[in-house]
Chains A and B, each alone.
Chain A
Amino acid sequence: MKKIVELKNVSKSFDGELVLDHINLDIYDNEFLTLLGPSGCGKTTTLRIIGGFETADEGEVIFMGEEIGDVPPHKRNVNTVFQRYALFPHLNVFENVAFPLREKKVPKAEIEQRVGEMIKLVALTGFEKRSVTSLSGGQQQRVAIARALVGRPKVLLLDEPLAALDLKLRKDMQQELKNIQKATGITFIFVTHDQEEALSMSDTVVVMSEGRIQQIGTPIDIYNEPKNAFVADFIGESNILDGVMLRDRKVSFSGHLFDCVDEGFAPREPVDVVVRPEDVDIVAPEKGMLQGTVTSVTFLGVHYEIIVDIDGFKWMIQTTDFVDVDEHIGLYIEPDAIHIMKKSEYSGMFGDYSSYSMELDEIGELEQIEELGELTEEPVEEAKEAESEA
């Protein structure tokens, strides 16, 4: 496979604060690559450096074999879909999509044809003459994608393009983006903080934290073989425990010796052990490898999410069997459900569910606030109307 973008030792700081810390990343032709991480991890800055809106303090940005660190955005064969779309409000749908072609002085007939094709690709036929301000969020998103693709860039950068859409629309757009990427064969670099989005769409996921790349891999690799506690915690739910690797395929944690499938650690090496909540079986206490007491049960539709206290460490387990709070249960874990990681700076920071009930999902929180906003806005409007009528 051909490398299309290479970042070599790229660093960037804002006001003396290091945002990117010596990033090395190869992006291949025709790939759907996602930069995934919490806010402030440097993913958007990475994207903006590739787009040409920021200049790296250190390191090289190589595009198709050429260093482009000093090339301004309008001379790069890269286009961007912005977070809030950045459509031009004074132009209609057709003119927005035609904008880059008009700038390049493409002949009129060709503009008509190419814009028509793009509008068809994003399923907006019939909307050509509409003002972009009159479109819904999803439709504006499509215009932004068509506008970014019409100039046939080598690489499309997408900066959290689905963040402003509601959940259902977001799911549809995920599928559609994936289809567009396959149909056009253009390399997509997608930035998101939503791990589900990253896993479902990408060929390659790059997990970032604190300006550093934590892991690069396929979605399956990232989920099944996380490199450190940060990745294990950020992607899905994980119980992360302190363990000791006694020898190949034997690990001890929570006071019990387990069979596992990992090899290549030093004898008696301290390690982080990851067990996914869905990989734990609940059995009778006497049959379990570990025994504990259920402290909370949450019904989530597909399964129950239960928290089990085992010698002070709170495990999260997802199960379809019902158990009651205060019930004494046994846990059974298959050898291939145990994943061993080397100790890292993130060891001990994640993976215990003691404070889980207080933890609020970042996105869930935002949505809640938005909903609250809508709820409070309307009565105010109504009150105003009532007042003006009186």
Chain B
Amino acid sequence: MKTASKIYTGLVMLFLFAPIAILLVFSFNDSKSLSVFSEFSLHWYRELFRDSETLGAVRNTLVLAVCAALLSTAMGTAAAVGIHKLKSRYMRAVMDTVTNIPMINPDIITGISLMLMFVFVGRLFGAATSLNFATMLIAHITFCLPYVILQVLPKLQQMDKALPEAAMDLGCTPMRAFLKVEVPEIMPGIVTGLIMAFTLSLDDFVISYFTSGNGFQTLPIRIYNMTKKTVTPKMYALATIIFFVILFLLLLSNLTDADTVQAVRTAREKKKAKNKA
């Protein structure tokens, strides 16, 4: 039984990480070959950083992801607070459903419908081309929002509802009570939501593809356009870099998770108590 479970785990690991390992190895390959590793070199990384169009797309992607993450986090947190305050159970169910729709909706449908709306509204105001950075930003906020809400809402629900009351009791206005007491409590949710929104925006291809225009190109779209011709190992180098950036963000997000923070905190205190004794 034990060996079987070990083999199974090994297989899962293999299928999860082997592709990434191969990508990583071949990004350092000197030649173009996909079968022979001729020599270790940073050639393709150099090539990559010489490609100004790709670098421009990277910059666009980052600007878009940062804007979308910040705005959707602010809006999502506000929405979560609003939903949390709803008294009627019916209204809450409605809001939950509305929140979930963009998540369960296939990306392609969200993408097409957003594009249609942007073009329609643009025509209405007589614009020739209506797809640009702004439309993409709106689209990204749209699909990031539910994830932020889903991260923040449980933190609000876990919070002792007497906490904001206690803050008001001790002299805070409702707004100050929110900032001084509720925000620190739900911060882990806000941070996780922010990181999730950032990675989602970074990662998105389908919705971006439909809502981009006017020469504004993100990295996934750039890669897609490049693969229409031939895939150069330059792309492996790019993918490797992206993988490690995402890995770093994932670790960060897990570390800010409340449970982990709590576990670390108690462990530290136990240690302190032990030292005292």
- Docked-complex contact A51 and B169, CB < 8 angstroms: yes
- Docked-complex contact B169 and A74, CB < 8 angstroms: yes
- Docked-complex contact B160 and A86, CB < 8 angstroms: yes
19 extra A-B contacts, CB within 8 A, seeds A82-B162, A134-B269: A51-B169, A52-B168, A52-B169, A53-B169, A72-B168, A74-B168, A74-B171, A74-B173, A80-B165, A80-B166, A80-B169, A82-B165, A82-B166, A87-B166, A90-B184, A99-B167, A99-B170, A133-B265, A134-B266
- Docked-complex contact A131 and B166, CB < 8 angstroms: no
- Docked-complex contact A89 and B185, CB < 8 angstroms: yes
User: Shortest CB–CB separation between residue B180 and chain A, in angstroms?
Assistant: 8
Instruction: Tell me if A151 is interfacial: C-beta within 8 Å of chain B.
Output: yes
Instruction: Tell me if B172 is interfacial: C-beta within 8 Å of chain A.
Output: yes
A-to-B contact residues, CB < 8 Å: 51-53, 72-74, 78-80, 82-84, 86-90, 99-100, 103-104, 131, 133-134, 147-148, 151
Chain B interface size, as a band, is 20 to 34
- Docked-complex contact B162 and A83, CB < 8 angstroms: yes
Q: Offer 12 A-B interface pairs, CB within 8 angstroms, sorted by A.
A: A72-B174, A73-B169, A74-B169, A74-B173, A79-B169, A80-B166, A82-B162, A82-B165, A86-B166, A88-B163, A103-B170, A103-B171
Which single residue of chain A is at the shortest CB-CB distance from B176?
Answer: A103
Partner of B185, one of A51, A73, A78, A90: A90
- Docked-complex contact B166 and A103, CB < 8 angstroms: no
- For A87, list chain B residues within 8 Å (CB): 166
Which single residue of chain A is at the shortest CB-CB distance from B166?
Answer: A86
- Docked-complex contact B170 and A151, CB < 8 angstroms: yes
- For B162, list chain A residues within 8 Å (CB): 82-84, 86
- What's the A-B contact tally at a CB cutoff of 8 Å? 63
Which single residue of chain A is at the shortest CB-CB distance from B173?
Answer: A74
- For B160, list chain A residues within 8 Å (CB): 84, 86
- Between A78, A103, A104, the greatest number of chain B beta carbons within 10 A of the residue's beta carbon is seen for A103
Instruction: Tell me if B112 is interfacial: C-beta within 8 Å of chain A.
Output: no
Give Cα A83–Cα B262 distance, bound, in whole angstroms. 23
User: Shortest CB–CB separation between residue A83 and chain B, in angstroms?
Assistant: 7
**For the complex, would chain B's binding face be called helix, strand, loop or mixed by DSSP majority?**
helix
Instruction: Tell me if B181 is interfacial: C-beta within 8 Å of chain A.
Output: yes
- Docked-complex contact B266 and A79, CB < 8 angstroms: no
- Docked-complex contact A74 and B172, CB < 8 angstroms: yes
Encoded as 1 (CB less than 8 Å from any A CB) or 0, chain B from 51 to 80 comes to: 000000000000000000000000000000
User: Shortest CB–CB separation between residue A51 and chain B, in angstroms?
Assistant: 6
Which single residue of chain A is at the shortest CB-CB distance from B177?
Answer: A74
**8 A Cβ contacts from B167-208 to A:** 167-174, 176, 181, 184-185
Give Cα A73–Cα B266 distance, bound, in whole angstroms. 34
User: Shortest CB–CB separation between residue A137 and chain B, in angstroms?
Assistant: 14
Give Cα A100–Cα B269 distance, bound, in whole angstroms. 27
User: Shortest CB–CB separation between residue B256 and chain A, in angstroms?
Assistant: 14
- For B166, list chain A residues within 8 Å (CB): 80, 82, 86-88
- For A134, list chain B residues within 8 Å (CB): 266, 269
- For B172, list chain A residues within 8 Å (CB): 74, 103
Give Cα A284–Cα B82 distance, bound, in whole angstroms. 73
- Docked-complex contact A79 and B170, CB < 8 angstroms: yes
- For B181, list chain A residues within 8 Å (CB): 88
Give Cα A31–Cα B170 distance, bound, in whole angstroms. 22
- For B184, list chain A residues within 8 Å (CB): 88, 90
Give Cα A100–Cα B177 distance, bound, in whole angstroms. 11
User: Shortest CB–CB separation between residue B225 and chain A, in angstroms?
Assistant: 48
Give Cα A103–Cα B171 distance, bound, in whole angstroms. 6
- Between B162, B172, B185, the greatest number of chain A beta carbons within 10 A of the residue's beta carbon is seen for B162
- For B185, list chain A residues within 8 Å (CB): 89-90
Partner of B265, one of A51, A99, A131: A131
- For A82, list chain B residues within 8 Å (CB): 162, 165-166
- For B269, list chain A residues within 8 Å (CB): 131, 134
User: Shortest CB–CB separation between residue B262 and chain A, in angstroms?
Assistant: 8
- Docked-complex contact A86 and B163, CB < 8 angstroms: yes
- For A80, list chain B residues within 8 Å (CB): 165-166, 169
- Between B165, B174, B262, B265, the greatest number of chain A beta carbons within 10 A of the residue's beta carbon is seen for B165
User: Shortest CB–CB separation between residue B63 and chain A, in angstroms?
Assistant: 33
- Docked-complex contact A147 and B265, CB < 8 angstroms: no
Which single residue of chain A is at the shortest CB-CB distance from B168?
Answer: A73
